[in-house]
Amino acid sequence: MTQNVDTRPQPLSAGMIYCHGCGKPIHESARSCPNCGAVARGAKSGRSKWSAAILAFFLGGFGVHRFYLGQPIVGLIYLLFCWTLVPALIAFFEFIYFLVISEEKFRPAVQPLTTATDRQEAAGTGLGSLSVDNR
Ligand SMILES: [Zn+2]
């Protein structure tokens, strides 16, 4: 007989967090829970504000941190205007911003502003407003 069901509360060892889905201890670096598949909220993997800050500091003038944050359009604008040194200046302030904001504030900020569906709807709205006769 195999004992694959263990309902006893397990002591939390170092580097472990409780899964918010099933309550079982999982490693803090785990992207998702191996027990129930819930995506870990406090996962340290993925985009980090520290990586973004380092990229903004060293390569911010080329918009590399924007590409890293999943904003390639903004990144391209930085790249196009990198010779003006203005993106480098903006990136320096962003570097400070990344350092001072909390991880909780950083995470929603790096989400793409709109989904593909939203973009299509926005484009549709834009076309609609263009066709409006303003006379
Ligand atoms: Zn779980």
CA 2–ligand 1 middle distance (angstroms): 21
Calculate the average pLDDT of the chain: 76
| Chain centroid offset of residue 29 CA | 16
pTM, 2 dp: 0.49
- In the reported structure, the alpha carbon of residue 28 is separated from the centroid of ligand 1 by a whole-number distance in angstroms of 12
Longest C-alpha distance within the chain, in Å?
82
User: What's 25's DSSP letter?
Assistant: E
The per-residue pLDDT for 125 is 44
Neighbours of ion ligand 1 (CB under 5 A): 19, 21-22, 33, 35-36, 38
Distance 3 CA to ligand 1 centre (A): 19
Beta-carbon contacts of 47 under 8 Å, excluding residues fewer than 6 positions away, are 68, 69, 70, 110
Residue 40 near residue 17, CB atoms below 8 Å: yes
The parts of the chain modelled with pLDDT lower than 50 are 42-45, 111-132, 134
Residue among 4, 6, 50 at smallest CA distance from 25: 6
79 CA from centroid of ligand 1 (Å): 42
Tokens 């593909």 locate to 116
Per-residue pLDDT, 112 = 45
